[in-house]
Chains A and B, each alone.
Chain A
Amino acid sequence: MKKKIIWIIDDDAIYQKIIEKIIKKSGVISSHTSFSNGNEAINTLKNTLEDNKQLPDIILLDINMPVMDGWEFMEEIKYLKSKIDKRIIIYMVSSSIAPEDKNKSKTFTDIYSYIPKPVSVNDLIAIVSNE
């Protein structure tokens, strides 16, 4: 199985570190990049597209973040969609159990699935191998 490029967008620094560990342990991911809010990720995505670098296969997107939250990120990515020639699978990952968040995620066709935290090694393997 070809290893995947994964982007983690989450303001929780501890979570970022934990997920890095899990990725390393899973061995299914070739590279990973972390962003502390949606704005950083969008900017990077734009640069990646401009530089014609490799786009991620999977994005794990948190909802509640400062500057640009997960929903705003989803709005922004719509404008870039035409330039993206690759299928990026976006997972909404949040500790929120509010039904409105889960429901809202369904309104975005680009969101593949809503995953409640915590994400375990097995979960990650399942996500990557899902393709």
Chain B
Amino acid sequence: MNSKKKWPNFISWFLERPKKTGYILSLILNVLVILICFQRYHMLKEDQEREMKAVSDKIYENIEQSLKNCQATLVLLAFTINDNGIPQNFDRVSKQLIKTNPIISVLQVDPDGIIKYIHPMQGNEKALNINILDSESHKKEIYNSIKTKKIYFAGPLKLKQGGMGILGWLPVYKDNKFWGFTTAIIKLENLLKASGSNSIDHTEYEFLFSNKNPKTHREEFYFSTRKKLTETNYISKKIPNSNWTIYLVEKKHSDIYLPILIVGSLGILIGILLGLLTMRLLKAPETLNILLKDQETKLLKNELKFKTIFDQATIGFAILDAYTGSFKEANKKYCEMLGYTFEEIKEKGIANLTHPDDIETSLLNLKNLEEGKVQEYSSEKRYITKSGKTIWVNLNVSPLWENHEKPTSFIAFIKDITQKKEAEELVVKSQSQFKSLIDTIDGIVWEYNIETSTSTFISKKIESILGYTAEEYISCPTFWEDHIYTEDREFALRISTIVNKKYTNYDYEYRMVTKKGKIIWIRDIVNFVYENGKAVMSRGIMIDITVMKEAEKDLSNSFHLVSEQNKRLLNFSYIISHNLRSHTSNIESIISLIDNTDSEEERNEMMKLLKSVSNSLNETMNHLNEVVNINTNISLVIEPLNLSQYINKVKEVLSEQIKLSEATFIIEVGETNLVNYNSAYLESILYNLISNAIRYKHPKRKPIITIKLYKKRNKDVIEISDNGIGIDLEKNSDKIFGMYKTFNNNVDARGIGLFITKNQIDSMGGTIIVESKPNIGTTFKIYTK
């Protein structure tokens, strides 16, 4: 901009308008070039014309001289004519004259226009006696020549002697009276030779010789094939005393134009180039100016932009003094966040704005930054706003470097993260809620990472269910499988392996052993967590279902008991029906027979039968009563009984049979061993089984009866075995304990003892099992409840 002022105004005008300046300069240079070319052209043209004139003048002079010489020769010849009109010594003189003027080929003397003397005669004989005045073609010129008394040159003509030539007629007077002519014939080629036209540069000029035909008045050219003169650049001269004109025509016009054209074109080109160059040179500062202006605008814009950013930013900015930590600047947002004006902020300083709990850390951070211990720092801190509210901000502080020197300012960015913090607190709170909720769930919540094969979580409930701590579970990778009850381990691991391959949610039940060694039932409900379609975690809950399982078992037992009872009752009803019907049908038949007989004897017989029926019925009723008693006696007294004593009691009752059969006893029951049972039933059961053992003794050996008492699965087992005849269980398994079922040939068998025994054991909630082989012996095992 300063450059403008250095120049005068008109130059500035040009400097500021490079395009126009370029055009103008180019135009001026071109005009100059054209002018110079024009000048040059004229100079060349003049030179050429001068040269042409010199050449043509020389030729003209030569021709004129030749013709003058010819005239002088003819005058001399005329002087030889004596008064008699006879040329004296014509041949000698002519010869001499031709010798001195060699261009003349023939000399004649023509008295009264008639050719009378010719030298040389040889070859020209045909011309003798021709009257020149009769020549049609030159009549006018000839007479004109006579009249003016001047020599006249005619031709060129085709010579009778051959070739082309011109004729010079000089009128001769005697006493001022026309006498005749002296004539000279000049061969045209000789004239040309004398003119010197052959010596001109034929590349530059063309020499033309023309004659105006006296008859046609048309110009005819000689020594050339052209009929007409088309060029404009020529010099012409008329030869006196003839119709002749000589021309010198310029042949090469381009010789002048081409260099001028080249020089001119180059000049114009240079002019244009110089114009363009000027334009460009002048434009350079202008471009620089534009760039400068652009940069200026950009800078301004940037400044404005940064200013706007600083002021309008949605995060708070502040610039702090690096030494004092006081505020230098703070943007609108910063002030808004804290609720103070900038002046107030400046006055209060960082320490007073910061939450008391965060002051120490804040000052330490600033100190570290100032001392160069850290390059920058970020922290989450709290401010107290003007309204007394605490806000959480994310703070970033970094130094503002100037020329790699120690920073004098720090720039601090703050972003309000109160909401985020609140959300985080909420998350933490909900996490703890979630955790406590998980801990209150009546089951062990667990999580397992499939990829790393590690347990990642176990809820606190493990302590109350298994007695172990969560740490114990997590720290041992095989804790879970190690604590599965041995009998269920294989099953549980197999299920777990299968399901872990298929990733299907499932639940299954197995037993685990607690820290105290108690076996508990667990229901494990497993779910899979998928990420990108792949199972990454399994989660589940292990619920203690021991109580449920026991209840289920009790229920199942009760159900079994009830259904057994039902079955028994139904069976019993059939038995009762059968037993009673067999008697009633007999009674019915007997009565029918009594009714249908007239014989007294028969009637008496029938009455006897009726009595037998009555007895049988009574017996049946007693049996039924006994059985019904067992089945209906729900509230039996159960007490600890000394088994040994009961065995002895039964042995006493059966002492006679024992004695007769020579039976021996092996009693493996401790004398103080107690069995929880009903007294009457225990006695009845022992009686029935021992008496059976004696009754069904093997015919070939003495009975040996073994009685044992032991525990199996927490239950008392009374085992009574014999070496009797045994029972074919394959045939009789379904009727061993049936009523009125007998399975040997012993006629004493009534089929009631084992039926009652079974009912008694059943009603005590126990079971009886029989093992037997024919001819070897039988073992009964009585399980208590």
Contact = CB atoms under 8 A, between A and B. Distances in A.
Interface of A: 12-15, 17-18, 21-22, 25, 39, 64, 66-67, 69, 72, 94-98, 116-121
Contacts of B747: 66
A15 B581 CA distance: 12
B589 A96 contact: no
Contact of B593 (A22, A67, A72, A97): A22
Nearest to B574: A98
A96 B577 CA distance: 7
A41 to B, nearest CB: 14
Interface stretch (B61-69, B608-616, B663-671, B703-711): B608-616
Contact of A98 (B578, B606, B751): B578
B742 interface: yes
A29 to B, nearest CB: 16
Nearest to A99: B574
Interface in B589-620: 589-590, 592-593, 596, 602, 606, 609, 612-613, 616
A39 B581 contact: no
Contact of A67 (B579, B590, B609, B744): B744
B585 interface: yes
B742 A66 contact: yes
A94 B616 CA distance: 17
A127 B296 CA distance: 137
Contacts of A13: 612
Contacts of A69: 735, 741
Contact of B578 (A21, A22, A64, A120): A64
A66 B749 contact: yes
A43 to B, nearest CB: 11
B581 A97 contact: yes
B589 A118 contact: yes
A94 B585 CA distance: 10
B578 A94 contact: yes
Nearest to A63: B578
B577 to A, nearest CB: 5
Given A15-B582, A117-B585, A118-B588, 8 more contacts: A12-B582, A18-B586, A64-B578, A66-B742, A95-B578, A95-B581, A96-B577, A98-B577
Nearest to A118: B585
Contacts of B584: 118
13 contacts: A14-B609, A14-B616, A15-B586, A18-B593, A21-B593, A21-B602, A25-B593, A66-B751, A67-B742, A96-B578, A97-B581, A117-B586, A118-B584
A117 B582 contact: yes
Contact of B574 (A15, A97, A120, A121): A97
B745 interface: yes
Interface string B521-537: 00000000000000000
Closest 5 CB pairs of A and B: A118-B585, A95-B581, A66-B742, A117-B585, A95-B582
B586 A14 contact: yes
Contact of B592 (A67, A95, A98, A120): A120
B740 interface: yes
Given A66-B749, A120-B592, A96 B612 contact: no
A98 B616 CA distance: 22
B568 to A, nearest CB: 13
A25 B596 contact: yes
Contacts of B593: 18, 21-22, 25
B interface SS class:
helix
Nearest to A12: B582
Nearest to A72: B731
Contacts, number: 73
Given A18-B593, A97-B578, A64 B585 contact: no
Contacts of A121: 592, 596
A96 B574 contact: yes
B589 A22 contact: yes
Nearest to B570: A98
Contacts of B612: 13-14
Interface string B739-769: 0111011010101000000000000000000
B582, B596, B745, B751, most chain A CB atoms within 10 A: B582
A18 B745 contact: no
A86 to B, nearest CB: 28
A27 B46 CA distance: 191
A116 B741 CA distance: 20
B745 A39 contact: yes
A95 B609 contact: no
B581 A120 contact: no
Contacts of A72: 731
Interface in B250-280: none
A89 B349 CA distance: 125
A52 B574 CA distance: 41
Nearest to B748: A66
Contacts of B731: 72
B740 A64 contact: yes
A93 B590 CA distance: 17
Nearest to B742: A66
B375 to A, nearest CB: 99
B610 to A, nearest CB: 9
Q: Chain B CB within 10 Å — which of A15, A96, A97, A118 has the most?
A: A118
Contacts of B582: 12, 15, 95, 117
A95 B613 contact: no
Contacts of A12: 582, 586
Contacts of B740: 64, 66
A91 B318 CA distance: 118
Contacts of A98: 574, 577-578
Contacts of A39: 745
Nearest to B750: A66
Contacts of A17: 609
A22 B597 CA distance: 11
A93 B584 CA distance: 15
A39 B743 CA distance: 11
Nearest to B585: A118
Contacts of B577: 95-98
Contacts of B742: 66-67
B596 to A, nearest CB: 7
Contacts of B751: 66
A67 B735 CA distance: 12
Interface in B547-603: 574, 577-579, 581-582, 584-586, 588-590, 592-593, 596, 602
A69 B749 CA distance: 14
Contacts of B602: 21
B589 A120 contact: yes
A118 B596 CA distance: 16
B427 to A, nearest CB: 71
